[in-house]
Chain A
Amino acid sequence: MKTLKTLYENIGLPRLIIALFFILLIVASIMLGFSPAALFSDVVRRWLMYGTLVLAMVPGIQSGIGLNFGISLGISSGLLGAVLAMEFAFVQDWNALYGAGSPWMTLGLALLLGVIFAAIVGTLYGMLLNRVKGSEMTVSTYVGFSIIAFMNIVWLSLSFKNGELSWPLQGQGLRNTASLSGSFGGLLSNPDVVQSTQPEWLHWLAFKVGDFTVPLGLILVFGFLCFLVWLFFRSKMGIAMSGAGENQLFTTSSGINVDRKRIQGTAISTVLGAVGIILYAQTYGFLQLYNAPLMMGFASVASILIGGATIRRAKISHVLIGTLLFQGILVTALPVVNEVVEIGTLPEVLRIIISNGIILYALSKTKGENQ
């Protein structure tokens, strides 16, 4: 009985409700006659699609800056890297030069540029957050909003030659959504893309077992990133960072530069955000510019909180569980809702209520626990 109680306390009421809701939705959708394989393919796809963006929350929380609503900085860096890489590939005509290797090179260049931008921006952002200690979350939310609004101006002013990116006949401004089908879209996750564009020996990257899609390439990449973060927080630097986040006074007295740790944590979080959005785009198949990433930070924050993180502690398991539950509900809710009540916007409403509700719950709960 006691173990059951501790188990319940470990899971927490909201997570329990959300998990039960998820199971209910799965049962309902199978009973309604949806193919389980297709459904689970979708769940896994969305899980991996958002995974890295949620993973980016971990270094932020651990280093003590709280919930990093400013992940939009990383997202914008990643997007900028991606559009620059695509334009470069187009101008240099990589498709003609390198064939099947071209999307890989574009992806690589996008990641490289994105990571470089994110590292610079993230460091500056970390320095800002050190000056606003105590109000990180409010400030970072609005810094995040501002950067998206600023990037809107940038997207609108860029004039690119690549027709996938720029509006036709206008000469100025990028599209709202740019298709990645001619580039690195689906390279790690879409069986059709992999089978048709890649050589035989790479066909394991994404394949189908019956109706179930296995995006093995993406699983490996995401797993590798999780492993890296896990490893990092077992390194000396990572342990110091967790210490800095946990107890500033203690850490300072043991000779660790708390401010520097916070900057590092913020920078790593931002870099993961950049990598995350590129992986997101390659899975989704489209690059979403302008206001599309405005609320992505909120979704990431909500996911990790659903997974059981608090605003001071987060683990890889929180990322995995939280993203699975949050995205899982959104994926399964859509067909079920459409079948049962025929209100297409209901899943979107659910998303808003669940994500903000869980953030609000976490904000009020942490305080209550410690009183």
Chain B
Amino acid sequence: MKQKTNVLNKLGSFLFDNKVMIAFAIICLAAIVLSGSPMTFIVDGVFTRITRNTFTVLALIIPVVAGLGLNFGIVIGAIAAQIAVFTVVYFGFEGFSGILLTVLIATPLAVLFGYLVGKLFNRMKGAEMIAGLILGYFADGLYQLLFLVVIGGIIPVNNPTLIISGGVGVKNTIDLTGNLKYAIDSVRMVDIVTVFFYAVLAITVIKGILHLAKKYKLNRGDLTLFVVSALIFGISYIPAVERFLSTDRLVLLDAFTAVLIVLAIFQIFKIIKSIGDKEPASALKKPILLLVFYGALFGLTFIPAIEEVMLFVKLPVLPFLLIAGLAWFNQKILSTRLGQNMRTVGQSLSVASASGINADQTRVLAMIISTVLASWGQIIFLQNIGTFSTYGAHTQIAQFAIAALLVGGASVQKATNKQAIIGVILFHTLFIVAPQAGKELFNNAQIGEYFRVFVSYGVIALSLAMHAWKKFRKDSPDGTGEIAALSGVTAKEPADGG
């Protein structure tokens, strides 16, 4: 009986903690049912959107941890990327080397912008979000000035496909077909494996030299990594495998199977290890249950309807690896000293300064990281979408990324990888099905489109309001809010605010 109430309590708090996500999931389901669109269309669309947008959404997590709130300033990262994309296209670079050059140009720009934004935010502690929002619009104005007037007007350029016929200003859309389109998506798996192997080889060699020089101690992990990558590299020479790996798209079914196999191997290792360590049998319960669960999931793919969808959807490999890499980075950085400092700064400025952390510097660093990541995210976005809308591609980026993150259940003060990914899936599912659902329900697709815009604004408004309400109840009524913080009236510890 006691256990039952415990479970109920747990369920209750799970429902309460995830209320935004659950409400949104219900809206999504209703919209899917109403729209009557085939599942192949929806799932394919959702995975395309995940490829495009997840990286940018993940770029929002670090500022949240560091107490800067939702970073509306990622627009500026996107702008850095777009300046780089334009430069690369203008000088005629293409393919993956073009992408590398884009990253090479975008990164220092984004570092500079991020540094400036961070400095500015340090002057406006407690009002970063409103400042970031306005800053985004302001930066958009400067960007338009650059692209409409300076390019062609002051910097002479001569390229009739990119420049408006008068010779001043960049055209509305730049076609990336033939230069950067799919430049990241179409990297072959076999190339990834090769590069990965050589990278691991180089790292292992360096570590080995350091080991011999007694500056570093090689451990088992290093060797395992090397052996695994060498094994994969070796397997890639088997003709059948090579043929499979020399494609650039992975059928969802294969990707799903591969992920399940990796997870299963991981669990089997755990079982072997705990048997070896002679741990009690109860420790085996969880891995075995998980194995059964993976088996059941694999079994599900044999249902014709699911199998059809999973065979239809094809994933670009490298973007997903990059997304996974960023999620891993977000996770890892929190366990470093920098990450711990960020957390402390995010929780309380006074505690941070008492423990000798340079709060301002940490905040600037968080902004730099977020801006750089956002610029890379924008590059992934543009190469996937294939047309670069010069004056529109960046304008909604913060809006949609933040809405997606919030839909996943994140708040102004807490955001995780999981929330980001769930959020992207839910938010973009609604984006795909809303017009069709609007058409079925009101006989007007436009209503569906307006509805999704309303939802994206509304979810941000709701989240901000709920956060402010919670904070206001916690603080004294004369708390440390935007206006107080900006006027320095009661700003004892402004960064507690959002």
Are these two chains actual partners, yes or no? yes
Q: Which A positions have Cβ atoms within 8 angstroms of B?
A: 64, 66, 128, 131-139, 141-143, 145-146, 148-150, 152-153, 156-157, 172-173, 248-249, 298, 310-312, 341-343, 345-346, 349, 352-353, 356-357, 359-360, 363-364, 366-371
Known A-B contacts: A134-B483, A343-B153. Give 7 more (CB < 8 A).
A135-B129, A138-B468, A139-B461, A146-B458, A343-B169, A360-B120, A360-B131
Chain B residues near A133 (CB, 8 Å)? Answer: 468, 472, 477, 479, 481
Separation of A312 and B475 alpha carbons in the complex (Å): 21
Chain B residues near A128 (CB, 8 Å)? Answer: 465
Taking the nearest CB of chain B, how far is it from the CB of A329, in angstroms? 14
The answer on a CB contact under 8 Å between B475 and A134 is yes
Taking the nearest CB of chain B, how far is it from the CB of A165, in angstroms? 17
CB of B137 closer than 8 Å to a CB of A: yes
Chain B residues near A139 (CB, 8 Å)? Answer: 461, 464-465, 468
* Interface locus among B45-53, B198-206, B228-236, B485-493: B485-493
Separation of A342 and B498 alpha carbons in the complex (Å): 44
The answer on a CB contact under 8 Å between A356 and B138 is yes
Q: A135-B468, A173-B444, A349-B145 are in contact. Are A150 and B454 (CB under 8 A)?
A: yes
Closest to B166 in A: A342
Q: A135-B471, A367-B486 are in contact. Are A248 and B442 (CB under 8 A)?
A: no
CB of B436 closer than 8 Å to a CB of A: no
CB of B393 closer than 8 Å to a CB of A: no
- Would you mind naming 18 contact pairs between A and B with Cβ atoms under 8 Å apart? A132-B465, A132-B472, A135-B467, A137-B483, A142-B460, A149-B450, A153-B454, A249-B478, A341-B168, A343-B169, A349-B141, A352-B141, A356-B135, A356-B137, A360-B138, A363-B124, A363-B127, A367-B488
The answer on a CB contact under 8 Å between B479 and A367 is no
The answer on a CB contact under 8 Å between A349 and B149 is yes
CB of B185 closer than 8 Å to a CB of A: no
Q: A146-B461, A349-B145, A360-B135 are in contact. Are A366 and B468 (CB under 8 A)?
A: no
Q: In the complex, which residues 333-359 of chain B have their Cβ closer than 8 Å to any Cβ of chain A? A: none
Chain B residues near A356 (CB, 8 Å)? Answer: 134-135, 137-138, 141
Closest to B399 in A: A145
CB of B271 closer than 8 Å to a CB of A: no
CB of B194 closer than 8 Å to a CB of A: no
Chain B residues near A346 (CB, 8 Å)? Answer: 148-149
CB of B16 closer than 8 Å to a CB of A: no
CB of B175 closer than 8 Å to a CB of A: no
The answer on a CB contact under 8 Å between B468 and A134 is yes
The answer on a CB contact under 8 Å between A152 and B486 is no
CB of B260 closer than 8 Å to a CB of A: no
Q: A248-B478, A349-B145, A353-B145 are in contact. Are A132 and B468 (CB under 8 A)?
A: yes
Closest to A337 in B: B149
Q: Which B positions have Cβ atoms within 8 angstroms of A?
A: 120, 123-124, 126-127, 129-131, 133-135, 137-138, 140-142, 144-145, 148-149, 153, 166, 168-169, 442, 444, 446-447, 450-451, 453-454, 457-458, 460-461, 464-465, 467-469, 471-472, 475, 477-489, 497-498
Q: A150-B454, A311-B486 are in contact. Are A134 and B123 (CB under 8 A)?
A: no
Separation of A138 and B126 alpha carbons in the complex (Å): 11
Chain B residues near A148 (CB, 8 Å)? Answer: 457
Q: A134-B479, A364-B123 are in contact. Are A153 and B451 (CB under 8 A)?
A: yes
Chain B residues near A311 (CB, 8 Å)? Answer: 483, 486-487
Chain A residues near B138 (CB, 8 Å)? Answer: 352-353, 356-357, 360
Ranked 9 nearest A-B pairs via Cβ: A134-B481, A370-B488, A132-B468, A352-B141, A135-B468, A142-B461, A149-B454, A353-B141, A356-B138
The answer on a CB contact under 8 Å between B166 and A368 is no
Q: A146-B458, A298-B137, A368-B123 are in contact. Are A135 and B148 (CB under 8 A)?
A: no
Taking the nearest CB of chain B, how far is it from the CB of A209, in angstroms? 38
Chain A residues near B481 (CB, 8 Å)? Answer: 133-136
Closest to A370 in B: B488
Q: A66-B482, A137-B482, A139-B464 are in contact. Are A359 and B134 (CB under 8 A)?
A: yes
Closest to B460 in A: A142
The answer on a CB contact under 8 Å between A137 and B127 is yes
Separation of A312 and B489 alpha carbons in the complex (Å): 11
Residue in B130, B450, B479 whose beta carbon sits within 8 Å of that of A153 in the complex: B450
Taking the nearest CB of chain A, how far is it from the CB of B149, in angstroms? 6
Chain A residues near B477 (CB, 8 Å)? Answer: 133, 248
Chain A residues near B166 (CB, 8 Å)? Answer: 342
The answer on a CB contact under 8 Å between B488 and A156 is no
Separation of A359 and B120 alpha carbons in the complex (Å): 13
The answer on a CB contact under 8 Å between B488 and A371 is yes
Chain B residues near A172 (CB, 8 Å)? Answer: 444
Closest to B466 in A: A132
Chain A residues near B486 (CB, 8 Å)? Answer: 311, 363, 366-367
Separation of A131 and B473 alpha carbons in the complex (Å): 8
Taking the nearest CB of chain B, how far is it from the CB of A362, in angstroms? 9
Chain A residues near B149 (CB, 8 Å)? Answer: 341, 343, 346, 349
Separation of A66 and B469 alpha carbons in the complex (Å): 17
Chain A residues near B444 (CB, 8 Å)? Answer: 156, 172-173
Separation of A352 and B475 alpha carbons in the complex (Å): 36
Separation of A262 and B131 alpha carbons in the complex (Å): 23
Closest to A142 in B: B461
Q: A133-B472, A149-B457, A363-B124 are in contact. Are A138 and B129 (CB under 8 A)?
A: yes
Taking the nearest CB of chain A, how far is it from the CB of B135, in angstroms? 6
Q: A137-B483, A139-B464, A142-B461 are in contact. Are A360 and B472 (CB under 8 A)?
A: no
The answer on a CB contact under 8 Å between B485 and A367 is yes
Taking the nearest CB of chain A, how far is it from the CB of B413, in angstroms? 12
Taking the nearest CB of chain B, how far is it from the CB of A275, in angstroms? 25
Separation of A366 and B483 alpha carbons in the complex (Å): 9
Chain B residues near A134 (CB, 8 Å)? Answer: 126, 468, 471-472, 475, 479-484, 497
Q: A142-B464, A145-B457, A172-B444 are in contact. Are A135 and B487 (CB under 8 A)?
A: no
Taking the nearest CB of chain B, how far is it from the CB of A67, in angstroms? 9
Separation of A79 and B492 alpha carbons in the complex (Å): 43
Residue in B126, B142, B148, B487 whose beta carbon sits within 8 Å of that of A345 in the complex: B148
Taking the nearest CB of chain B, how far is it from the CB of A259, in angstroms? 9
The answer on a CB contact under 8 Å between B447 and A156 is yes
Chain B residues near A360 (CB, 8 Å)? Answer: 120, 131, 134-135, 138
The answer on a CB contact under 8 Å between A364 and B124 is yes
Closest to A364 in B: B123
Chain A residues near B478 (CB, 8 Å)? Answer: 248-249
Separation of A66 and B447 alpha carbons in the complex (Å): 33
Chain B residues near A363 (CB, 8 Å)? Answer: 124, 127, 130-131, 134, 486
Chain B residues near A368 (CB, 8 Å)? Answer: 123
The answer on a CB contact under 8 Å between A352 and B487 is no
Closest to A345 in B: B148
Separation of A360 and B138 alpha carbons in the complex (Å): 8
The answer on a CB contact under 8 Å between B144 and A349 is yes
Most A Cβ at <10 Å: residue of B126, B134, B467: B134
Chain A residues near B442 (CB, 8 Å)? Answer: 157
Chain B residues near A146 (CB, 8 Å)? Answer: 454, 457-458, 461
Separation of A371 and B485 alpha carbons in the complex (Å): 11
Closest to B454 in A: A149
The answer on a CB contact under 8 Å between B447 and A153 is yes
Taking the nearest CB of chain B, how far is it from the CB of A184, in angstroms? 28
Separation of A142 and B458 alpha carbons in the complex (Å): 7
Taking the nearest CB of chain A, how far is it from the CB of B136, in angstroms? 9
Most B Cβ at <10 Å: residue of A131, A138, A366: A138
Separation of A139 and B131 alpha carbons in the complex (Å): 13
Closest to B127 in A: A363
Taking the nearest CB of chain B, how far is it from the CB of A21, in angstroms? 15
Separation of A132 and B498 alpha carbons in the complex (Å): 11
The answer on a CB contact under 8 Å between B148 and A349 is yes
The answer on a CB contact under 8 Å between A64 and B148 is no
Taking the nearest CB of chain B, how far is it from the CB of A47, in angstroms? 23
